[in-house]
Structure formats: structure tokens, C-alpha cells
Amino acid sequence: MGDPRRASDKELESLYYDFLIAYVCESCGEVRSEDDAESKATALIPDGCTCPNNGGGDCPWCLAKEEAMDWQPEPGEQFICASCDKKAAGKP
């Protein structure tokens, strides 16, 4: 999209809705961030990053973080933050 000032109200509403689905937690309203991606990676790989320079590599934790950062919703899905994901799974 170009200049948003030239977009119709309907286009702006559609873009805003797409943003909400992909970036705002449906349970608590938290906005998707790098911290959330790190929490999700740590939930999957509790030992954390094992790259030689401690980050930005191809270790399982870094790959899990990258996947969380790049997540895009499938039809019918909406972003859920790591905290709400934990609560739903019954973890403290």
C-alpha cells in the first residue's frame, strides 16, 4: 500500500484488522514483540541459545525464535502471546 492518507476507510479497516489478527494477543491485548518470540523459543528450548557468539545463529533456540518472529496467521488463527499460551496450557 502506498500513502495511507489516500486509502479508503474500507481499506484502512481491512489493514487494521489484519494487524490485530497477526500482532495483538486475542486474550490480553499484548502486542507481538521480540520479547514474546524469545519467551516462546525458551518454552520450546529451555536451555536457550547455544550459538558460539550467543545469538543470531542456527541453533534450535535461534531457529525457534526466528519462527515465532516470522509467524503469520492461517485463516481462523489469531496471535496469542507467550504468557496467555502458558496459561492456556495450565503452566505457571
Q: What is the pLDDT along the chain (92 residues), one digit of tens a residue?
A: 678 889 999 999 999 999 999 999 999 999 999 999 999 999 999 999 998 876 668 899 999 999 999 999 999 999 999 999 989 888 76
In a domain, 3, yes or no: no
In a domain, 5, yes or no: no
Q: Return the C-alpha cell found at 63.
A: 531457529
In a domain, 7, yes or no: no
How many domains are contained in the chain? Answer: 1
In a domain, 33, yes or no: yes
In a domain, 36, yes or no: yes
Q: Would residue 41 be called left, alpha or beta, if left means φ above 0 and alpha means ψ between -120 and 50 degrees? A: alpha
Longest dimension (CA), the chain: 50
Structural contact between residues 50 and 42, judged by C-beta atoms closer than 8 angstroms = no
In a domain, 8, yes or no: no
Residue 33 sits in which domain range? 18-88
Q: Is-above-0.85 flag for pTM?
A: no
In a domain, 10, yes or no: no
